[in-house]
Structure 1
Amino acid sequence: MLLLWLLLLLPLLAMLWQQRPSWLILLRHQVAWRVLAWEAACQQRKLEQSTLRVGQSQQQALTWCLKRAQSPYCLPRGITDMSTFRNQLPLTKTSQVQQEESKEELLPPASPQYHGEASLQATLLGLVTLNKAYPEVLTPGSSACVTPPSPWPGSVPWLRHALGRVSPLGAKDPRTLLLEALMFPGLRALEARTAVELLDVFVGLEADGKELAEAIASGKLGTPLPSRAAELQEALEQGPRGVMALNLWPEQPQGSYLLPPGVPFIELLPFKEGTQEEATSTLLLTDVQREEEYELVLTDHAGLTRCRLGDVVQVVGAYNQCPVVRFTRRLGQTLSVRGEVTDENTFSAALAQAVGQWPGAKLLDYACVESGILDSCDGSAPHYEVFMELRGLRNLSEENRDKLDHCLQEVSPHYKSLRRRGSVGPVKVHLVGPGSFRVLREALAAYPSSSFPPEMPRVLRLSHLAQLLRKRVIS
């Protein structure tokens, strides 16, 4: 009851103290963190209990999904048995789910009860973990909202005032929000609605940093701040540093993520690289083996589909009885013009090797297309085409362009064999202008069956998306 009263009073106190002296701002911040730490400790105990009793927790999650199922393809009413569910409901792929959803009317909004609790737990534990690893990030006035309706942390809205977010709220364009945020000398963290939008912000900051610094120096939004502009320019020259994802172990160099036993209901499909046969039997969280790879299968109550996401994870550890995983690849992101299979990992490794041989170049983003999608064979052998956005280089010599094809032959013997026989032509490399991939993501989000945030494919299968990048080629 005491916690409830504090939660009710904090928004009022935040409004009353908004224009108060700095000592009151610090007091508000300390009170907020004490309440947050107390509630986070409760959520930590819940996490410990659920991860120690994984089988029971997963059964509760599945029962919750089945009772609140909104899909017309539901199991017979009253069935909550896990074996019956897995035997009678077939596995589906993301593309199949999107096609079915595009034919159906929009479903009513999901009940926030279970998801709200999970969101609260993730928000609180995430904030506490981030504060332990990087305490300077969440000091008063150190974070800023840089996308127009950013709900984070949505489940505890009073925090956005109590923790002293520096940028003003309101429906403004991201560039203006970013410019206003950069004027604050204590800025340490940028907040966005989705990771994809945050990536666009950082890409834009790298591309337009000099222009933004000049706007701050000249006082475009008010008082000229030449010293702050100099600080910004110096930071940009040092290059990007820091954490781009949040998990329970943000200090680790490679992201590791806990798979919780709640909603959505999680299954794992064994994955073996290079095998033609697909596994048909899934495993539960307690059945997986360390170092093995699995494809994620999720079930939610909104669609009640056992959906194969196409994301492959490797089990790298355990948290109580729950697996800790690392994302390794995405299925379906493969290139094939002569029956070969060049997956995302193979191509990205070759591309990173090639970019390392281009003086001054830094890869910002890229996408691949099979030549048949663009009808660009022109009598030559089928080949791959790659569109990339670079920083530090606006033109490539033919010698440097050829390095990507040589690197790809080094990492893929099958591709090398096809190239030597002339069955596959050399990779064609195109540089696109700044902001091209932001435009591509906007086009993906506008697609009728697209998810939100839209998945960024490395291999484009639709001609109009490939043509969108082709129109933005600068070299």
Structure 2
Amino acid sequence: MLPAVVAVAVAVAVAVAVPALRHRLVRSALRRAGGRYRRRLEALGSDVRLSQERRLRRLLGTGTGTAGGGRGAAARVAGRGRSHGCPSQLVPLPAVSEEFQERHPLGQPCRDEAPGNAVLPLRLWALLPGCWDTDPRLQGALLYLDALGATFPRALARRGTALLHWTPGCPRAPAGWPLPTLYCTPAAAGTLPSRAAALRVQLLFALRQRALHVLEAGLAAELHDALVALHTEWPQLAQELALGRLSPQPGLPEGVRDQLQALLTPDAARAAELRAECARGFEGILLRLWPQLEVVVVRTAHGAERLYCDSLRHADCQGLPFYCPFYQAAGALLGVNLWPAEPAPRFLLCPDWAFCEFLPCLASKEPHTVLLDELWEGREYGLVVTAQPGEYRCRTGEVLKVTGFHKQCPMVEPVRRESQTLSVRGENIPEEQFCQSLCRTLRTWPGARLIDYVCVESSLLGDSSGPCAPHYEVFMELQGLRDLSEGQRYKLDQCLQEDFPIYKSFRFKGSIGPLCLHLVRPATFTQLREALGSPRPMPRVLREGHLLQLIQGSVIS
């Protein structure tokens, strides 16, 4: 009998240990590959001009169906270098880029979503030391795993990461997708048709895992809305944990609910802990619910999403660092943040991931682009990207500020989106500067805290705007105030006039009317993000009529 008991015990131990051992082995291999890619990035950064030349040649050599594209164009460009008596010598980058720019004018449309962003199986050949020409998504993920593991040693523990990201239609790759055993969140939870239901189910599975080290969200707004659900629904969430049973809810199909239900088991102790901590309030709630939590990873936390990060840092996420690992634009991965512990993200533009050009923001009416090695620290540039064969010189609409250099590679900070500029008479108020004026206004309203806001140009209102001059309408969700006096409402218009002399001039002439300010009921912006239909950063200037109707129906003052 004893040998049989020992055999069973050994078998159970092996069954338990094998997944953990497999995780450690794969993690070690990926960390090594990440270190190798980081060393390669350091080498590429020593000569970004040559690296960009190679990237452009590969794009031209594989493109089809466009004038000047294809292998013929690349060969013609390369042939110009042979007149110097060096058949193998590459043409200097200006020669390549000049012909490229002549054949492909600026202004090609950009895609907002990267193709093939779904979770892909990791192929072992991609990690072989000699296989350098790999997908930037793989290189970015490996660099992320290496940087995260080096800064937070326990962050790569098996099932130690929870994911909060709505991906309707199909699963999308999380930041650490080459190591799926990192995640304790079932993939099916993120693909639900309802954003609210998806985030709530993912939150429930995160709450089951007390030994959590990393909380990852696709957008800062997704983390914000998941924690709002925790604030309002923690008694029901605790009951579901205690019973090990998912409650029926809108947006959760019965078949998917049964599939997720099979992964739950009753946990009365964890439910009791959730009740006790939430009853104490929500300041610093993340570290109280997950004492081993080391970092919050948010894949998009700049621009319009910064408002949510700032709010979370001062409340639910007190004491936790935020790490934004990637910079992506026009559907392409362009940069990586290799410094997880630093409070302000610095995105290193990788010269081998896309061919990048830059439009100086203070240029003339017919600006010429500059290249990656021609940037100046402290200046702002519009971003132009060639990342896919056949899709050349896409104007992304993003403005970047160069904050420094790592070797020759620029480090950038996204500043604003050109599509989110307010302008009814050509006054052009950028989104980040409008937000600064708004926050300055709020400091004059005692007790008020900004939850969210959105702007509308009166042209979108149509006949409902009345006979008044073109103007802005601002919809805000506030905490601490339920109504505003006329003086308080006028204060925002006054701050805009002080901050923007052109706006003040138009207001004085009467060609721009006074700003209209509205307060909306709680959870309005959560509904607005659901209505967007896809996970994308919050628009600060609404351009779509159905979104305007939604928010107009929520006005309380």
Shorter-chain TM-score bucket reads 0.7 to 0.9
1:35 to 13, 18, 29: 29
Alignment check: 8 A CA contact 1:383 1:424 kept: yes
1:214 counterpart = 2:293: no
Gaps of 5+ in 2: 1-11, 78-95, 127-131, 193-197, 246-265, 285-314, 326-336
Contact map agreement 1:431 1:473 (CA 8 A) in 2: yes
**2 CA distance for matches of 1:359 and 1:208?**
27
Q: Relative to 1, partners in 2 of residues 1:360 and 1:129: Cα closer, same or farther, differing over 3 Å?
A: farther
CA distance in 2, matches of 1:415, 1:63: 46
Q: Can you list the C-alpha shifts for 1:77-126, whole angstroms capped at 9, x where unaligned?
A: 512242211222101154xx569x9xxxxx99999988853222211111
- Alpha-carbon distance, 1:20 to partner: 1.5
Partner of 2:299: none
Q: Say which one has the larger Rg.
A: 2
Q: What SS does the corresponding residue of 1:212 show, helix, strand or coil?
A: helix
Distance in structure 1 (CA, Å) of the matches to 2:70 and 2:172: 40
Match in the other structure for 1:11? none
Using the alignment, how far apart are the partners of 1:64 and 1:283 within structure 2?
20
3-state DSSP of counterpart to 2:351: coil
1:401 aligned partner? 489
Q: Does 1:262 align with 2:306?
A: no
1:121 lines up with 2:136 in the alignment: no
2:16 maps to 20
CA–CA distance in structure 2, aligned partners of residues 288 and 73 of structure 1: 29
Match of 1:201 in 2: 222
Q: Is the 8 A contact 2:437 2:495 kept in 1?
A: yes
Partner of 1:339: 426
The Cα offsets for residues 2-35 of structure 1, whole Å up to 9 and x where unpaired, read as: xxxxxxxxxxxxxx989616xx776555434422
Deviation at 1:52, TM superposition (A): 1.6
Greater mean alpha carbon deviation, residues 371-380 or residues 60-69:
371-380
Equivalence map 1:309-320=2 (5 Å)? 309-320=396-407
1:428 matched to 2:516: yes
The ranges of structure 1 where at least 4 consecutive aligned residues each deviate by more than 6 angstroms after the TM superposition are 16-19, 107-115
How far apart, in 2, do the equivalents of 1:337 and 1:18 lie? 68
- Aligned partners of 1:73, 1:379: CA distance in 2, in Å? 50
Secondary structure of 2:436's counterpart equals: helix
Select the residue among 372, 376, 392 that pairs with 1:285: 372
2:436 to 333, 349, 358: 349
Q: Within the alignment, does 1:248 sit opposite 2:338 as a pair?
A: yes
User: Judging changes above 3 Å, is the alpha-carbon distance between structure 1 residues 71 and 252 closer, same or farther for their aligned structure 2 residues?
Assistant: farther
Which of residues 172, 178, 201 in structure 1 aligns to 2:203? Answer: 178
Q: Which of 148, 173, 187 in structure 1 is aligned with 2:212? A: 187
Aligned 8 A contact 2:68 2:100 in 1:
no
Q: How does 1:357-372 map to 2 (within 5 A)?
A: 357-372=444-459
**Corresponding residue for residue 237 of structure 1:** 283
CA distance in 2 between counterparts of 1:327 and 1:108 reads 24
In the alignment, which residue of structure 1 is the partner of 2:104?
A: 89
Q: Distance in 1 between matches of 2:406 and 2:156?
A: 26
**Equivalent-residue separation in structure 2 for 1:128 and 1:360 (angstroms):** 44
Is 2:243 the counterpart of 1:223?
A: no
TM-score, normalised to structure 1's length? 0.80
User: What secondary structure does 2:188 align onto?
Assistant: coil
SS class of match (1:425): coil
**Closer, same or farther: CA 32–263 of 1 in aligned 2, 3 Å:** closer
Is 1:207–1:434's contact at 8 Å kept on the other side of the alignment? no
> Which amino acid in the other structure matches residue 320 of structure 1?
K
Conserved 8 A contact 2:117-2:172 = no
1:466 pairs with 2:486 = no
Name the SS of the counterpart of 2:382 in structure 1: strand
Q: Report deviation, 1:178.
A: 1.0
Are the counterparts in 1 of residues 62 and 70 from structure 2 also a CA contact under 8 Å?
no
Q: Which amino acid letter does the alignment assign opposite residue 330 of structure 1?
A: R
Query: Are 2:160 and 1:142 equivalent residues in the alignment?
Result: yes
> In 2, Cα distance between the equivalents of 1:417 and 1:25?
68
Q: Could you tell me how far 1:299 is from its partner in structure 2?
A: 0.8
CA distance in structure 2 between the partners assigned to 1:360 and 1:115 by the alignment: 55
More divergent stretch after superposition (296-305 vs 313-322): 296-305
Match for 1:228: what amino acid? Answer: L
The two structures, once aligned, show a CA RMSD in angstroms of 3.5
How far apart are 1:393 and its partner, in Å?
Answer: 4.6
Letter of the 2:494 counterpart: H
C-alpha separation in 2, matches of 1:320 and 1:119: 23
**C-alpha separation in 1, matches of 2:399 and 2:428:** 17
In structure 2, distance between residues paired with 1:18 and 1:339: 70
Q: Deviations over 1:42-100 (max 9, x none)?
A: 11122122222322221221122112224545537512242211222101154xx569x
Distance across 2 between alignment mates of 1:392 and 1:160:
42
Identify the residue that residue 290 of structure 2 maps to in structure 1: none
Tell me: CA distance 1:204–1:394, structure 2 relative to 1, closer, same or farther (3 Å). farther
What residue is the counterpart of 1:416 in the other structure?
A: 504
Give the total of aligned pairs: 434
- Residue 503 of structure 2 aligns with an amino acid whose one-letter code is Y
Candidates 46, 49, 54, aligned match of 1:55 = 49
Which region of structure 1 is more displaced relative to structure 2, 214-223 or 301-310? Answer: 214-223
Contact preservation (8 Å) 1:203, 1:364: no
Q: Secondary structure at the match of 1:187?
A: coil
Q: 1:48 to 1:386 in 2, by over 3 A?
A: same
Q: Secondary structure at the match of 1:79?
A: helix
| Cα distance per residue 1:428-460 (max 9 Å; x no partner) | 1223344544544454447xxxxxx54543222
1:383 is matched with 471
Tell whether the 8 Å contact from 2:147 to 2:339 is kept in structure 1 after alignment.
Answer: yes
TM-score (norm 2): 0.69
Identity score, percent: 37
| Residues 98/217 of structure 1: CA separation in 2 closer, same or farther (3 Å cut) | closer
* Cα 1:379–1:357 shift into 2, 3 Å: same
